[in-house]
A and B are shown apart, each in its own frame.
Chain A
Amino acid sequence: MDSKLYKETFSKVKSSYEFDISDFEGRKRPKVGGALRRTAVIAAVAALLAAFTITASATGFFGMRPTEPEEADNGVIDTIEDYSAAPESQALAQWLVSDGSNASYDAIAQRHGLEVHEDFALLSPTEFMSDVGDFLAARNSIDVRFMHEDGSFYVDGAFRLDSFHKIQYRIVRAVRGAFTDFLPSVGDEKYSERQMSVGDRTLVLALGEARSLIIGDLGSSILAVDVHGGTDQGIEQWDLEALAGSIDLEVLADLKRPELPKEEYVDFGAGVTILEENVISEQSFSVSLNGWGKVMFISYAPTEEFEDVRFFISDDGAVSDFELSPIYTGLEFKDVAAVSFEDVSGDGYADIIVIVDYAPQAGEPYREARVYTARGEGVFLIDWELTKLVNSSVEMSEMDIYAIRRILAS
Chain B
Amino acid sequence: MERDSFCEYAEKYKDTIYRVALNMSGNVQDAEDAVQDVLMKLYLAERPFEGDEHVKNWLIRVTVNYCKNLLRAGSKRAPMPPENLAASVPFEAEEQIALFSAVMGLPERYRTVLYLYYYEDYSVREIASILGIRESAVTTRLSRGRDLLRDDLREGAL
Q: Point out the residues of chain B lying under 8 angstroms from A29, CB to CB.
A: 40
Give B96-108 as 1s and 0s: 1 = Cβ < 8 Å from A's Cβ atoms. Answer: 1001100101111
A21 to B10, CA, bound (A): 9
- Cβ-defined partner of A103 (8 Å) among B18, B34, B47, B92: B47
> Within the complex, what minimum Cβ distance (angstroms) separates A113 from chain B?
22
- Give the interface of B toward A (CB within 8 A): 3, 6-7, 10-11, 14-15, 17-19, 22, 25-26, 29-37, 39-41, 43-47, 58, 61-62, 65-66, 69-71, 73-79, 81, 89-92, 95-96, 99-100, 103, 105-109, 114-115, 118-119, 132-134, 136-137, 146, 149-150
B109 x A267 contact (CB < 8 A): yes
Please classify the interface of chain B as helix (H, G, I), strand (E, B), loop, or mixed, using the class held by over half of its residues.
helix
30 interchain pairs (CB within 8 A)? A1-B149, A1-B150, A5-B96, A7-B118, A9-B96, A9-B100, A12-B96, A15-B35, A16-B32, A19-B11, A21-B3, A24-B6, A25-B3, A28-B44, A30-B37, A31-B36, A33-B33, A34-B37, A36-B33, A36-B75, A38-B75, A39-B37, A264-B134, A264-B137, A265-B133, A266-B137, A345-B78, A376-B26, A376-B78, A377-B106
Q: Point out the residues of chain B lying under 8 angstroms from A12, CB to CB.
A: 89-92, 96, 100
Q: Which of A94-102, A210-218, A276-284 contacts B (4 or more CB under 8 A)?
A: A94-102
B73 x A349 contact (CB < 8 A): no
Q: Say yes or no for A304: interface residue by CB 8 A criterion.
A: no
Residue tally, chain A, CB below 8 Å to B: 55
Given contacts A19-B11, A34-B34, contact A13 B89 (CB under 8 A): yes
- Cβ-defined partner of A265 (8 Å) among B37, B40, B77, B132: B132
Q: Point out the residues of chain A lying under 8 angstroms from B109, CB to CB.
A: 267, 378
> Within the complex, what minimum Cβ distance (angstroms) separates B44 from chain A?
5
A376 to B44, CA, bound (A): 30
